[in-house]
């Protein structure tokens, strides 16, 4: 069921309330305290985009496999965009990019129970009709800017929600292997040489080779040496703009 609000502090916070159950969508035209990954805020003009959270209860999934849920949601958004003729990629871990521009951000939050996942809230901000963004946002784009016409936000939301549940059912039916394959195939800048930056300021050129089940990014440097990086262990350059993951 879709619950539509004019404004909320955060759709993820609202979705965490026990009155919501698996498959419920909490959608707000505006958020007063919307947040992205690692404490970043998410900008969205009221009514121009879709900011929403979906509730999942993946009790069948071990806590050690939680990255599969990030993959499911990212793949679902790419699936939905494909319907509109948009060729999108997944920029590790789960930003959605078209070319070198960010179309969608995702924030995944889990509640664990023992060795399993009791509840997952997937918060999603998808740029739909916004055409003007703050100067401090490095590389945004919207569906309207890509397709050159205004979209129906509710129709886009419903399509994305359906895609999420379709991919989620794949996971429930123990098809994790295909999810990992599809995610790998859609990785932004996979098998291409680019600059990367370490937290201590050192930089190197490397090639993304894949993602570990844990979610760590595998990069091969120019010497042919490969290692994996967790969140915040590497900076990613996009046309001379860097963003710390």
At residue 41, the pLDDT reads 53
Residue 36 clears pLDDT 70, i.e. is over it: no
Q: What is the pLDDT of residues 188-219, one digit of tens each?
A: 999 999 999 999 989 999 999 999 999 999 99
What token pair was written down for 40? 């970043």
User: Is residue 128 within 8 Å of residue 151, measured between CB atoms?
Assistant: yes
Residue reference for tokens 């600059």: 195
Provide the H-helix boundaries in 16-142: 67-83
For the chain, percent of residues with pLDDT exceeding 90: 82
At residue 242, the pLDDT reads 44
Q: What is the pLDDT of residues 19-35, one digit of tens each?
A: 999 999 999 999 887 65
Least confident piece of the model among 43-52, 69-78, 212-221:
43-52
Contacts of 74 (CB under 8 A, 6+ apart): 90, 93, 94, 96, 106, 183, 186
d(C-alpha 223, C-alpha 236), whole Å: 19
d(C-alpha 240, C-alpha 131), whole Å: 22
At residue 240, the pLDDT reads 45
- Mean pLDDT of the residues in the chain: 91
CA dihedral 126, 152, 168, 71 (to 10 degrees): -20
Q: What is the pLDDT of residues 155-171, one digit of tens each?
A: 999 999 999 999 999 99
Provide the H-helix boundaries in the chain: 11-15, 67-83, 143-147, 153-172, 176-185
At residue 238, the pLDDT reads 64
At residue 239, the pLDDT reads 55
Residue 176 clears pLDDT 90, i.e. is over it: yes
Contacts of 145 (CB under 8 A, 6+ apart): 131
Contacts of 64 (CB under 8 A, 6+ apart): 115, 214
At residue 44, the pLDDT reads 60
User: Is residue 93 within 8 Å of residue 73, measured between CB atoms?
Assistant: no
pTM of the model: 0.90
């Amino acid at each position: 069921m879709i619950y539509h609000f004019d404004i909320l502090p955060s759709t993820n916070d609202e979705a965490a309330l026990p009155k919501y159950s698996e498959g419920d969508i909490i959608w707000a035209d505006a958020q007063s305290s919307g947040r992205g990954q690692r404490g970043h805020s998410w900008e969205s003009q009221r009514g121009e985009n879709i900011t929403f959270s979906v509730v999942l209860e993946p009790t069948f999934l071990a806590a050690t496999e939680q990255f599969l849920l990030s993959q499911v949601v990212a793949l679902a958004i790419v699936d939905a965009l494909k319907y509109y003729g948009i060729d999108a990629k997944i920029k590790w871990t789960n930003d959605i990019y078209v070319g070198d521009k960010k179309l969608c951000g995702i924030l995944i939050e889990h509640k664990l129970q023992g060795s399993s996942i009791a509840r997952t809230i997937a918060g999603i901000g998808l740029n739909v009709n916004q055409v003007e963004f703050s100067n401090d946002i490095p590389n945004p784009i919207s569906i309207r800017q890509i397709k050159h016409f205004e979209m129906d936000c509710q129709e886009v939301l419903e399509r994305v929600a359906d895609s999420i549940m379709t991919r989620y059912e794949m996971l429930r039916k123990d098809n994790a292997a295909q999810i990992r394959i599809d995610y790998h195939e859609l990785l932004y800048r996979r098998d291409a040489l680019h600059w990367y930056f370490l937290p201590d300021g050192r930089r190197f050129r490397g090639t993304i080779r894949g993602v570990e089940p844990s979610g760590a990014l595998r990069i091969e440097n120019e010497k042919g040496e490969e290692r994996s990086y967790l969140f915040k262990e590497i900076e990613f350059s996009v046309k001379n703009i860097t963003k710390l993951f």
